[in-house]
């Protein structure tokens, strides 16, 4: 079943083009399952503007048979797609599937898609953790897909680019982990900081909680209020952050992660604190980060000024800044991302591009919305 959507100007079925010295199909076919959640609709928005790919199947649990534009009217000029069921047999002939479902639900659907020969980017946490025991502890159920768990590649391109290119299944990172790993990864890899006694203090816009309304994310409850939640190791992203920072450090990392909800729709601001392993200057630290990120298309190292969420709103960019606190002998590493961009759908499209062998930045370069 194909759903006709907006087709970028100048591209048509059967054409091909050259990207990176290789011939690729001009219109790669993409399915988005879970298209009516916030991350799903953001993925559709990016795909509608993508020069080499188009969404041909959109699926939803709760809106089957409805026009997508009836759920999200801002996309009415660009698509007349009708939402299909969350059924692997209905997806059809696609080059890749983006699966934007809550954790636990992907355990059933993703294996069905992979079994049908599809490449998959999964937005949930179901394939991020290497340890099935940690998954059981933090998600409350047994992991039933141990073979796929071993096969899945953690989808942070700045750390796993070559593995992602060859992956069948990519586990798209969480939004909080993306910011924390990008902020602290280079310092841990270079041995600038100790892998113990790390603090990750993070603030997220309420869209990170999903589209389903709740008291804690209701505007009337959140207006003018900052709210901590899931503190003292209780948040499900804690083991994910520890897992990937341990990989960067080549040593087990211990950390305290404290997330907060902020009274804004989107954006994450993370400030990380780590003890210095040796005496270093501000210039030394900046050089380590410059070497780590100077070729990264979506990492913006801020030297004059500090990161802020407005500067990355609607983009796939990550703003990173580092400061040496000499009095406390700590490194302060900061990151700002859009939780629906680099923290979810933007990163998923970046991973998709790598998996399909096209330009990594295709469909993603954009200037932040301001004000």
Which pLDDT score, from 0 to 100, does residue 216 have? Answer: 64
Extents of the domains making up the chain? 16-172+343-356, 176-340
Burial 320-357 (b: 16+ CB within 10 A, else e): bbbebeeeeebbbbbbbbbbbbbbbbbbbbbbbbbbbe
Which pLDDT score, from 0 to 100, does residue 16 have? Answer: 46
Which pLDDT score, from 0 to 100, does residue 140 have? Answer: 86
- pLDDT one-digit tens code per residue, 253-309: 999 999 999 988 899 999 999 999 999 999 999 999 999 999 999 999 999 999 999
CA-to-CA dists, residue 15 to 11, 18, 23, 152, 357, angstroms: 7, 11, 10, 32, 16
As given in the structure block, the two tokens for residue 123 are 């937005």
Task: Identify the H or E element spanning 268.
Answer: strand 268-275
Distance CA 193, CA 155 (A): 24
Which pLDDT score, from 0 to 100, does residue 2 have? Answer: 35
Distance CA 235, CA 260 (A): 11
Residue at token pair 């004059």: 304
Which residues neighbour 364 within 8 Å (Cβ) at sequence distance 6 or greater? 46, 298, 316, 346, 349, 350, 353
Q: Is the dihedral of CA 225, 183, 209, 135 positive or negative?
A: negative
Which pLDDT score, from 0 to 100, does residue 370 have? Answer: 86
Q: Is the dihedral of CA 159, 160, 165, 171 positive or negative?
A: negative
Distance CA 183, CA 199 (A): 12
Kindly give the parts of the chain with pLDDT less than 50: 1-22
DSSP string for residues in 156-195: -HHHHHHHHHT-SEEEPPPHHHHHHHHHHHHHHHTT-B-S
Whether residue 95 contacts residue 28, with contact meaning beta carbons closer than 8 Å, is answered with yes
Q: Based on the residue annotation, tell me whether 272 is a catalytic residue of this protein.
A: no
176-340 is a CATH 3.30.70.2740 domain: no
Looking only at the bridges linking them, the beta strands covering 53-59 and 28-33 are parallel
- pLDDT one-digit tens code per residue, 187-211: 999 999 999 999 999 999 887 666 5
Catalogue the E-assigned strands of 114-250.
Answer: 119-122, 153-154, 169-171, 198-205, 227-228
CATH of domain 16-172+343-356: 3.40.50.720
Residue of 32, 91, 113, 175 marked catalytic: 175
């Amino acid at each position: 079943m194909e759903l006709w959507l907006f087709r970028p100007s100048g591209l048509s079925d059967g054409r091909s083009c050259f990207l990176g010295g290789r011939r690729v199909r001009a219109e790669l076919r993409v399915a988005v399952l879970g298209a009516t959640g916030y991350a799903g609709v953001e993925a559709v928005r990016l795909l509608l503007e993508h020069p080499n790919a188009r969404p041909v199947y959109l699926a939803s649990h709760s809106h089957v048979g409805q026009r997508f534009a009836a759920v999200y009217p801002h996309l009415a000029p660009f698509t007349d797609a009708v939402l299909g069921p969350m059924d692997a047999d209905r997806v059809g002939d696609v080059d890749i599937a983006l699966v934007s479902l809550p954790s636990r639900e992907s355990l059933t659907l993703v294996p069905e898609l992979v079994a049908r020969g599809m490449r998959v980017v999964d937005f949930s946490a179901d394939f991020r953790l290497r340890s099935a025991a940690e998954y059981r502890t933090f998600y409350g159920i047994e992991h039933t897909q141990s073979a796929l768990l071993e096969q899945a590649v953690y989808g942070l391109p700045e750390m796993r680019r070559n593995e992602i290119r060859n992956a069948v299944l990519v586990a798209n990172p969480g939004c909080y982990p993306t910011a924390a790993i990008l902020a602290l990864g280079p310092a841990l890899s270079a041995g600038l900081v100790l892998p113990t006694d790390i603090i990750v203090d993070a603030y997220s816009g309420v869209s990170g909680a999903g589209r389903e309304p709740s008291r804690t994310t209701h505007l009337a409850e959140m207006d003018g209020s900052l709210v901590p939640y899931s503190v003292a190791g209780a948040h499900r992203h804690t083991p994910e952050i520890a897992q990937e920072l341990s990989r960067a450090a080549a040593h087990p990392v211990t950390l305290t992660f404290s997330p907060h909800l902020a009274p804004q729709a989107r954006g994450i601001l993370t400030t990380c604190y780590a003890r210095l392993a040796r005496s270093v200057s501000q210039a030394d630290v900046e050089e380590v980060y410059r070497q780590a990120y100077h070729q990264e298309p979506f990492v913006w190292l801020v030297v004059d000024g500090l990161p802020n969420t407005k500067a990355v709103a609607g983009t796939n960019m990550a703003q990173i800044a580092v400061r040496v606190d000499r009095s406390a002998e700590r490194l302060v590493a900061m990151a700002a991302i859009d939780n629906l961009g680099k923290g979810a759908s933007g990163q998923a499209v970046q991973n998709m591009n790598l998996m399909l062998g096209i330009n990594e930045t295709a469909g993603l370069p954009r200037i932040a919305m301001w004000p």
